[in-house]
Amino acid sequence: MGAYANRGKDANSELDRVFDLFPRLLERKTQPGGTLSGGEQQMLAIGRALMAKPKVLLLDEPSMGLAPMLVAQIFSIITEINQQGTTILLVEQNASQALKRAHRAYVLEVGRVVKTADANDLLDDDAVKAAYLGGDVSS
């Protein structure tokens, strides 16, 4: 479905790219998407989006509900996708993981931007640590 707009062009190479990023999907390629685990469904959704060769990939809470091991894998793949040249716009409650991979970050409170900076600066910001990263700024 994701390659509909790219029919006949290079859909096969994009499918190979998706299977390289998500080898689990290659193992499950004959299985209906609705029967995949939560993590596999997340991989499928990202893979389907990548088939369209987007310049910008919007991801809303890709780690929600996933086991910690899968969260690490998803974030690693998001980083790889970005390194391959796709811009990522990530909305994520796991602020620490997101900031470690982001270039620029925006802190939202009740739908309003309350702080913006380079991601590394926000990782080191005492107020951000205390409010969002569970950091103890008194030590």
For the chain, what is the mean pLDDT?
87
Cα(79)–Cα(74) distance, integer angstroms: 9
pLDDT digits (tens, 9 = 90+) for 81-107: 999 999 999 999 888 889 999 999 999
**Per-residue model confidence (pLDDT) at position 139:** 44
Return the CATH fold of 1-93.
Rossmann fold (3.40.50)
Identify the sign of the CA torsion 9, 73, 106, 108: positive
Cα(21)–Cα(82) distance, integer angstroms: 12
Name the percent of the chain lying above pLDDT 70: 88
Residue count (the chain): 139
State how beta strands 87-91 and 56-60 pair.
parallel
Q: Are 59 and 90 in contact (CB under 8 A)?
A: yes
Sketch the domain layout of the chain as residue ranges: 1-93, 94-139
Q: What are phi and psi of 50, to 5 degrees?
A: -65, -25
Q: How confident is the model at residue 5 (pLDDT cuts 50, 70, 90)?
A: low
